[in-house]
Structure 1
Amino acid sequence: MLETEVLQQPKLDGPSSATDYEYPYSCSLSQDMKLVAKEELHEDDNIRRQALAQFREWIAKHPRIKKCRTDAVFLLRFLRTKKFSVPAACEMLERYLTIRQLFPQWFQQLDINDPAINEIFEAGYLVPLPERDSSGRQVIFSVAGRFDPYKFTSVQMARVHSLICEALLDDEDSQVAGYVYVNDESGMNMGFVSLWSLTDLRSIVKCIQNSTPMRHKETHFVNIPHYANRIIELGVSMLSDKLKKRIIVHKNVDGLKSKLDPAILPKEYGGTMPMADMIREFKVKLLQRRATILALDDMHIEVNKDAANFAGSNEIGDIDAGVVGSFRKLEVD
């Protein structure tokens, strides 16, 4: 069996086995987050140490994983998402590596210096908020009206999402507390209707919920135009029941403010910091993490037919019309 080449982050070389290297790790969780990790994820120093050792051994012996980061913070993305079930974390890592190989147009060469990505980001389409919510969760704010579907493609939209996520995933507090998504759909126009093919929409949704190491805690939709209901219904219908239950629909921003502290929102939505300042602040982080994010492309797994099907890239059939409509059943506050 071939041994895996281990990638130390950010240095992309290392020993030939995951068992013969000293991995220094100092937990950066706040005290409050350590308590959450213990209560919700069963995490403590001993469990974390054992799980990391088992995870690295599995990677080293995996016949198809040829290169992979094995630093603690990277592996903890998966262990925390799966509440320290090592088999489940291993499965998610395998999926994560596989979708990066199968869909490079969405998940590789993520670079803030790419002109299209930079323009979409600076327009304010997708911005992580600087302040966390009352539960310590990272909030990612999306404004449909700031994405031009006549100028940019669904691939470029997905690449912006992937870049933002990769810039956040090594934050340990977020690995434990999870993520909240706020989507202002007031500016969604008819160009969005034809932006995504059914096959691509199905594939990207599968990638998000099965292969992305993030604890998806809540998704808020605000100001949905009547003509946008159909496309959002379609996307929601593809989600797992667990994620469907975490969707909250608001008629307007006032409804959103009943669930999130208005102070953390952009100034344009009742907060204190203008959106432009939030964009400028986060771009600094994107530039700082640029090399680390691009280095992810050096990871490699050999993809066979079974792995491709496993990741959800197989042929997508028609979706039963009865499934669509689940969105209408969601409670609107």
Structure 2
Amino acid sequence: MKKATTVVDNYEFRLSNELKLLAESELRETCATRDFALKAIRDWIESNPRIEAARMDASFLLRFLRAKKFSVPITQEGIERYLLLRQSYDFFTNLDMNLPTMKTLLNLGYIFAVPKRDQFGRRVIITRPGVFDPYKYANTDMLKLHGMVYETLMEDEENQIRGYVHIVDCTGVSLPYMTLFTPKEAVRIIKNAENTLPMRHKEIVAFKMHASIKFAADFALGLVTEKLRSRVKFFTSLESAKVIDRSILPLEYGGTIPMAEMIESWKVEMAAKQSILLDNDNMRVHLDMYSMKAREGAISALKQLNCASSDNDKGQLYGLQGSFRKLEVD
């Protein structure tokens, strides 16, 4: 395929039987639906005039299909919005962990994933916004590092299927942090975090949140779906968060391995994916074919576009869900 920046591979499910059954029960993923969807998405990318180049390896496309439970039309919209936002904002490109600011924030442990999975096999991501100095660093630094961490994790197929747990330590976060983003920026970040990033957020636990920040958190929760809202929980301390297996967390949070060791382990994991993350910059869309609102990240703007490249494509691709039901019955 002419637009492919990666090899168009023939996918074979190589994960455990447990994960195969989980993907089928939770994501509606079977061999038939997966093969059919991968071909449909690849054909759509190739025929979409707005997309100049994109990854077409199965693992990359499956992260979107799995996050959208194999709804092809919703996946199309998600991929196009993702490609557009990557190119519209500089902080989504050149995700190099060796950039001085990124290196400093990683060493501080602003955000990292713990080495062990939780009791459900999910990766646990710890974010410590209190170590992010709002007077020293820009909001683009924060977003770039989040993008770097999430992109690293999304390369793992097990993570795509099992999802993620987020733990947010709000120690030291107070009113000055409210100045990092304008209300408009905050709204678009929150909405795109749920709708554009192909991540299955299973639990979000925040603790030690200052009263001045709780009001902002409540505002943010009003912008997400009820499904995601129900997975967010606030606690006065981590000790009171019984939903978390603290044994897999850093020593400072009740586990056995010091946080500094976990941070170093995470940096090694990130380094192994660096070349892939940097090569993602080869993906391109034609920016002049999108409205200013779409380029700024307005969720509603891309919905107004026909994600298929022509009326014929639209009829063909947007009818795939019916075909999926038939495939599953057969």
Q: TM-score, normalised by structure 1?
A: 0.85
1:6 paired to 2:9: no
SS in structure 2 at match of 1:5: coil
SS in structure 1 at match of 2:168: strand
Look up the equivalent residue of 2:172 and give its one-letter code.
Answer: G
1:283 is matched with which residue? 267
Look up the equivalent residue of 2:119 and give its one-letter code.
Answer: S
Measured in 2, the distance between the counterparts of 1:123 and 1:217 equals 26
1:116 is matched with which residue? 101
1:315 positional shift: 11
1:310 positional shift: 4.3
* Paired-residue identity, %: 35
Distance verdict in 2 for CA 1:194–1:315, change over 3 Å:
farther
Alignment match of 2:216 (pick from 231, 235, 240): 231
Unpaired stretches in structure 1, ≥5 consecutive residues: 10-20, 317-333
Instruction: Report if the CA contact (8 A) 1:125-1:146 is conserved.
Output: yes
1:323 is matched with which residue? none
Instruction: Report if the CA contact (8 A) 2:152-2:270 is conserved.
Output: yes
1:211 is matched with which residue? 196
Measured in 1, the distance between the counterparts of 2:27 and 2:81 equals 21
Alignment match of 1:176 (pick from 161, 166, 175): 161
1:242 paired to 2:239: no
Per-residue CA deviation, residues 13-63 of structure 1 (Å, 9 max, x unaligned), is: xxxxxxxx6x23332322221111011111122221121111111111111
1:259 is matched with which residue? 243
2:137 is matched with which residue? 152
2:17 is matched with which residue? 31
1:108 positional shift: 1.0
1:271 is matched with which residue? 255
1:129 paired to 2:114: yes
Unpaired stretches in structure 2, ≥5 consecutive residues: 301-330
SS in structure 2 at match of 1:183: strand
Alignment match of 2:72 (pick from 68, 73, 86): 86
Instruction: Report if the CA contact (8 A) 1:4-1:65 is conserved.
Output: no
Distance verdict in 2 for CA 1:233–1:29, change over 3 Å:
same
SS in structure 1 at match of 2:4: strand
Alignment match of 2:37 (pick from 47, 51, 74): 51
1:102 is matched with which residue? 88
Measured in 2, the distance between the counterparts of 1:47 and 1:252 equals 44
Instruction: Report if the CA contact (8 A) 1:266-1:274 is conserved.
Output: yes
2:53 is matched with which residue? 67
1:329 is matched with which residue? none
Instruction: Report if the CA contact (8 A) 2:191-2:299 is conserved.
Output: no
Instruction: Report if the CA contact (8 A) 1:126-1:142 is conserved.
Output: yes
Structure 1 runs (4+) deviating above 6 angstroms are none
Q: Which has the higher contact order (CA 8 A, sep 6+)?
A: 2
Measured in 1, the distance between the counterparts of 2:228 and 2:296 equals 18
SS in structure 2 at match of 1:273: coil
